[in-house]
């Protein structure tokens, strides 16, 4: 049995569309069972800027290691934090 879905109206602006979706259920307009899994490899996760104080010698060690791995030092910090959290979660 096929799901009857409503037709999505045309919107004049993003604000109008945002208001529409805040008041309507998406399942009335899309057949969620016919959805397909998508891979979005270029989609970057949201980030938030933080400020962290590190001892100068620690930061210098991180920069040296980042240079050896040929990655920016801030990226290396994120990698090391993720690895540490993953290790801790596995324990």
Query: 29 and 58 share a domain?
Result: no
Of 91, 66, 89, 90, the C-alpha closest to 78 is: 66
In this structure, is residue 84 part of a structural domain?
A: yes
Query: 57 and 22 share a domain?
Result: no
Query: For 30-78, what is each residue's pLDDT tens digit?
Result: 888 888 888 888 888 888 999 999 999 999 999 999 999 999 999 999 9
pLDDT at 31: 85
Q: Crossing angle for the helix pair 56-69 and 73-90, nearest 10 degrees? A: 90
Q: How far apart are CA 40 and CA 38, in angstroms?
A: 6
What is the secondary structure of 32-80 as a DSSP string?
Answer: GGG------TTPPPP---------HHHHHHHHHHHHHHTS-HHHHHHHH
pTM: 0.52
Asked if residue 1 has pLDDT above 50, the reply is no
Q: What is the CATH number of the domain that holds 68?
A: 1.10.1220
Asked if residue 3 has pLDDT above 80, the reply is no
pLDDT at 68: 97
């Amino acid at each position: 049995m096929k799901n009857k879905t409503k037709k999505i109206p045309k919107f004049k602006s993003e604000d109008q569309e945002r208001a529409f979706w805040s008041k309507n259920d998406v399942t009335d307009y899309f057949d969620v069972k016919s959805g397909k899994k998508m891979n979005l490899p270029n989609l970057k996760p949201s980030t938030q800027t933080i400020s962290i104080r590190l001892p100068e010698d620690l930061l210098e060690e991180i920069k040296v290691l980042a240079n050896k791995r040929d990655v920016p030092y801030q990226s290396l910090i994120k990698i090391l934090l993720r690895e540490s959290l993953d290790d801790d979660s596995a324990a």
